[in-house]
Amino acid sequence: MTAYAELMIGGLMSGLVVGLAALAITLVFGIARFANAATGDTMTAGAYVALSVSGATGSVIVGGLVGALAGAAIGVVVYFLIFRKLAGRSSVANLLASIGVAFIIRAIVGVIFEHQQQVFQLPLVRPWRILDIRVQPSDLNLAIVAVLTLATVFLILYATPVGRRMRAVADDPGLARISGISPTRVMIALWALAGSVSAVAGVMYGIKTVVTPEMGWDMLLPAFAAAILGGIGHPVGAICAGILLGTIQEMATPFVGFTYKLAISFVVLLIVLLVRPSGLFGRNEGAR
């Protein structure tokens, strides 16, 4: 039971990372109406920037903040250079463009930082023992970071004017435009928010594991699965589905091994979608 409890704690941490990445995907899909495949590589870029800054300053907190700012900057730059010009095109065209952006970011990261595995230099701390269950202090710190990030995102979405504009565009783009809402300002805020959330997820994942140019690409499939499972376009659903999938993956490791645990998430996804195609939090909508 102790081993399973520790696996559950690890699953919660993995689920928070997946949930943050799924939240970034959901934000873009809800407003820009396409699946952003560059989310994973934005995670990677944010992790590398945070790693470099933390190495130079000796502070992981400063590195993480600069990494989040770098993710926001990447999102805004990519919007102005590519996705603003593709406004009005099909979702498939935007999806293919985002795949190209992902390859470009990964190539730039590989050239600048090379391809060796790197790790955050963290002090060695004894794990806490709670009822004979080992809990790493770093896990608690990362959970606090994830909760603060989520609180900031939802505060922006539901308690600020720019958040209300973003939700208005997500609900009805045409009506929002007629109401005088500037699409460009909304998109800048969207891409900055999605980029920073992706970068925070990348930093968390890099601290838990290692930092490589492919780390974000490897996390993209679970993030897409969580976004779909939670109900595409539903922020709360993305977080809950990410935590669910991360926990199931870790709990299944003793039975299927590390290599095949990713398949468990997709089995759960298929079962849920067969029963409820709109996802856990999505709404069934009809058309005529």
Residues 254-270 pLDDT 10s? 777 666 777 777 777 78
Residues linked to residue 133 through DSSP beta bridges, in sequence order = 130
Q: Model's pTM, two decimal places?
A: 0.90
Per-residue tokens: 91: 């979702």
Q: What angle do CA 236, 240, 241 make, to 5 degrees?
A: 115
Domain spanning 2-117+131-275: CATH 1.10.3470: yes
- 62 touches 54 (CB < 8 A): yes
Q: Does residue 233 carry a pLDDT above 90?
A: no
Assigned token pair, 16: 């928070």
Q: How far apart are CA 126 and CA 5, in angstroms?
A: 18
Reported as a single tens digit per residue, the pLDDT across 117-139 is 899 888 777 777 777 777 787 88
Least confident of 110-119, 180-189, 253-262: 253-262
Residue 288 has pLDDT above 60, yes or no: no
Read off the pLDDT of residues 198-215 as tens digits, 9 standing for 90 and up.
999 999 999 988 999 999
The answer to whether the beta carbons of residues 18 and 223 sit under 8 Å apart is: yes
The C-alpha atoms of residue 264 and residue 46 are separated, in whole angstroms, by 28
